[in-house]
Structure 1
Amino acid sequence: MSRKCDLTGKAAQTGHKVSHSNRKTKRRFLPNLVNVTLTSDTLNRSVRFRISANALKTVDHRGGLDAFLAKAKDVELSPKALELKRQLEKKLATAS
């Protein structure tokens, strides 16, 4: 399982741990990932994701999973989220 957010694409970064004597050793900065179940209002079903805490706040701010996926770029989404976005677009196209 990769340490990457399914919705925003945020992944682990590398950098230096700097000691008091200014020695630099490699370290990793890991994203704050949480397992959540989000509900799609359009598709009437729940979907499990592993997303960052920041992405969870963004989903709430934009008004839910459907609104988030509508604005999200395809490059950043995981294959699972991209498939869900395509299903949403298809359902909305047939509804209108």
Structure 2
Amino acid sequence: MSKVCELTGKRAMFGNNVSHAMNKTRRRFNINLVKKRFYIPEEDKWITLRVSTSVLKTINKKGISAVIKEARANGHLKK
């Protein structure tokens, strides 16, 4: 399973580890994903999503319905 947020489409970034001698080796900056269940009162059902922790803060602020509506408009979430 890939490390991609299902609501925002955030992915891992790539960069370099740089030593004191300026040697560069490739590395990944992974995102912080959690598997979380959400209740959607409009549809009267539970859904399970893998979302980044930064999106959890957004969900707490805006509400799950508004965030899912935005994700569907941006094409990140299937209907």
Normalization by structure 2: what TM-score? 0.89
Give the strand-richer structure, 1 or 2.
Answer: 2
Q: Does 1:68 align with 2:64?
A: no
Aligned length: 78
Give 1:37 deviation, angstroms. 0.3
Structure 1 match to 2:10: 10
Structure 1 match to 2:59: 59
Q: Structure 1: which 5+ residue stretches go unaligned?
A: 84-96
- Runs ≥4 in structure 1, deviation > 2 angstroms? 70-75
1:36-92 residue CA offsets vs partner (Å, 9 max, x unmatched): 001111011110001100011111111x211112233423x1xxx321xxxxxxxxx
Normalization by structure 1: what TM-score? 0.75
Give the helix-richer structure, 1 or 2.
Answer: 1
Q: Does 1:82 align with 2:64?
A: no
Query: Identity of aligned pairs, percent?
Result: 36
Residue pair 1:5, 1:11 contacting (<8 A) in 2 also: yes
Q: Structure 2: which 5+ residue stretches go unaligned?
A: none
